[in-house]
Amino acid sequence: MQDTEKPLAQRAYAKINLGLDVVRRLENGYHEVRMVMQTVGISDLLTFAEAESGIRITTDCGELPVDENNLIYKAARLLAETCGITKGVSIHLEKHIPIAAGMAGGSSDAAATLLGLRELFSLELTDEQLRELGVKVGADVPYCIMGGTALAEGIGEVLTPLAPAPRCSILVAKPGIQVSTRYVYEHLDASEAWEHPDIDGMCAAIAAGDLAGVTDRLGNVLERVTIPAYPVIARIKEEMLDMGATGSLMSGSGPTVFGIYESREQAQTACDQLAQKGLAEQLFVTEFI
């Protein structure tokens, strides 16, 4: 059993989408997707400690609920009910991942909660069992449990691990707006013919370690909805390309934009220049994990 004096810590990493395609709208309102997911080095920190009873969440982020609306709470409650845990837990969230940004921050916190509590309570659950529980909290949670480079299909829960993506530096820019994932999917006209990103080609380029092949195939169909609503996204993409990015794309449902650079110096220079233009509220120079 875990030492109750010493809290257990678990990092929750953000993701970007190197490719995001929507195949069709399902009858239950979900969408069938094909996404190339990639963990990046931006993370929240969760700490867990046993308590007498109940689930108590604290956070340094004033914007987030700490009640049952927090995905951490949903994940902890589901695990407690499934495994018959009678003890309580206190969870503290140190938030760094931009919120409502297309970086799966909430899903990653839920994934970290499942991983952290499995360890805290010494639960005999496999990663696969944890992923099966995770999808009940959110479609991206199973991927967040797995992490790394992966192809996500179905509603996001059918995962195929891929070879690590080629090394590069990433500039992540989050404009000062929040975008609702639900709004974006609801406004995507799935009956319309649009250009689909080359997801299979992207997977092949990753397998071959071909960075140019990856950047050539960056594509996200959700840009069709989010960019017309928030043109600042297109401006940031253009600025990143002007400042030497070999490719640039919106992540998830947005509004976060990332640019791929061959060196950290280039990414840092672009970051400094973009900061001066005042287009982004949060900027990070990071890499694939």
Which residues of the shown chain bind ligand ATP in the complex (CB under 6 A)?
64, 69-72, 99-107, 109, 140, 181, 252-253
Q: What are phi and psi of 190, to 5 degrees?
A: -70, -10
* Candidate list 21, 44, 109, 140, residue with the active-site label: 140
Smaller CB distance to ligand ATP: residue 105 or 197? 105
Q: Which residue number, 18 or 205, has a Cβ lying nearer to ligand ATP?
A: 18
> Residue 211 is encoded by which pair of tokens?
């960075």
Catalytic residue flag (residue 277): no
Strands annotated E in 182-277:
219-220, 247-250, 257-261
How many Å apart are CA 135 and CA 5, to the nearest integer?
32
Number of H helices, E strands in the chain: 10, 11
Helix 127-134 / helix 105-120 crossing angle, nearest 10 deg: 140
Burial code of 18-33, b = ≥16 C-beta within 10 A, e = fewer?
bbbbbeebeeeeebbb
Work out how close the CB of 195 gets to ligand ATP at its nearest, in angstroms, rounded to a whole number. Answer: 22
| Least separation in angstroms between CB 226 and ligand ATP | 11
Residue nearest ligand ATP, Cβ-based: 106
For ligand ATP, give the closer residue by CB, 100 or 199. Answer: 100
CB of 204 to ligand ATP, least distance (A): 25
87 is catalytic: no
Which one, 113 or 266, has the nearer CB to ligand ATP? 113
Report in angstroms how near the CB of residue 232 gets to ligand ATP at its nearest: 16
Q: Which is nearer to ligand ATP, 70 or 169 (CB)?
A: 70
Amino acid at 14: A
Minimum distance, C-beta of residue 256 to ligand ATP, in the bound complex (Å): 8
Selected catalytic residue, list 15, 74, 95, 174: 15
Entry field: residues in the chain: 289
**Chain centroid to CA 284: how far?**
15
Residue of 18, 67, 22, 287 whose CA lies nearest to 181 = 22
Residues serving a catalytic function are 15, 140
